[in-house]
Amino acid sequence: MKSDASTAHKFPAPVNLAMGSPQFMTTRWTMVLAAGTDGPGRDAAMEQFAQAYWYPTYAFIRKRGQDAEMAADLTQEFFAQLLEKNWLAEVDRRGTRFSTLLLNILRNFLVDEHRRETRVKRGGGQMTLSLDLVSAEGWFGAEPQTDESPERIFERRFALAVLSSALQQLGTDLRTAGRGRQFDALSAFLSREPGRGEYDAAAATLGISTNAVAAAVLRLRREYRSAVRAEVAVGLVDPQQVDEEMRHLAQALST
């Protein structure tokens, strides 16, 4: 008699439509990645993607010596082309890290001498990113003045973008799930332990007990962890590689 637990659950369960936060995330990604899919859904997803990841691109281009205006133009153009040419198609089922892939695409894009001319002809592309040039230059100006290569900077900024994006996404998802107030009150405790009385204050805000707040924070941390992992896991053929991606992420952030 066979009672192997590993196979016992393999029969298709009734279609499970439950979607946890990571799946919301995946949804957005897959919208971006879907080749041949048009429509507002994809554009919106791409917009979201670009908002999350434009700065690493901008920093990379600036670091390679372009002036602010040109870097802004190229960044705009890059994301427009990314969408139009469906360059991200290979992200799906990728074998390499996502940041490496994106960087390669970016390099190829920049190497192409004709980009600038075509950019002029195309009148800026279909999608217009609302880049906050002032902020961009502010942030870029605050970058440590080191001899780090543009690639290194890109990797680090990319890693930060992943963390930010996951945080933002988690917030969106929880608001959607009716837990927006909880997120607003408790997300501060994702990366740090509470100070004295902070949980009590949150409990008062939320109208629940302090113990319930502590439990909610734990839950929130789990959810954030899942969100980050989902963000890096996109398109990985082998889910085992997520841990590797996470280590790279940590490495890129270490000084």
Within 144-203, the residues that bind another protein by CB under 8 A are: 157, 159-161, 163-164, 167, 175-182, 188, 190-193
Backbone φ and ψ of 245, nearest 5°? -60, -40
- Three-state SS string over 29-67 comes to HHHHHCCCCCCHHHHHHHHHHHHHHHHHHHHHHHHCCCC
Collapse the DSSP code of 236 into the 3-class scheme (helix H, G, I; strand E, B; otherwise coil) and give the result: strand
Calpha distance 248→245 (Å, rounded) = 5
Residues 6+ apart with CB under 8 A from 234: 26, 29, 30, 33, 91, 98
If binding is defined by CB under 8 A, does position 63 make contact with another protein? Answer: no
Interface with another protein (CB under 8 A), residue from 209, 237, 238, 244:
209
**Shortest reach from residue 121's CB to another protein, in Å:** 29
Whichever of 123 and 178 has its CB closer to another protein, that residue is 178
If binding is defined by CB under 8 A, does position 20 make contact with another protein? Answer: yes
Calpha distance 98→229 (Å, rounded) = 13
Whichever of 123 and 197 has its CB closer to another protein, that residue is 197
If binding is defined by CB under 8 A, does position 78 make contact with another protein? Answer: no
| Cβ neighbours, 10 Å, residue 86 | 15
- Which residues from 102-121 bind another protein, rule CB under 8 A? none
Interface with another protein (CB under 8 A), residue from 22, 25, 26, 155:
26
If binding is defined by CB under 8 A, does position 229 make contact with another protein? Answer: yes
Whichever of 112 and 132 has its CB closer to another protein, that residue is 132
Interface with another protein (CB under 8 A), residue from 43, 47, 51, 107:
51
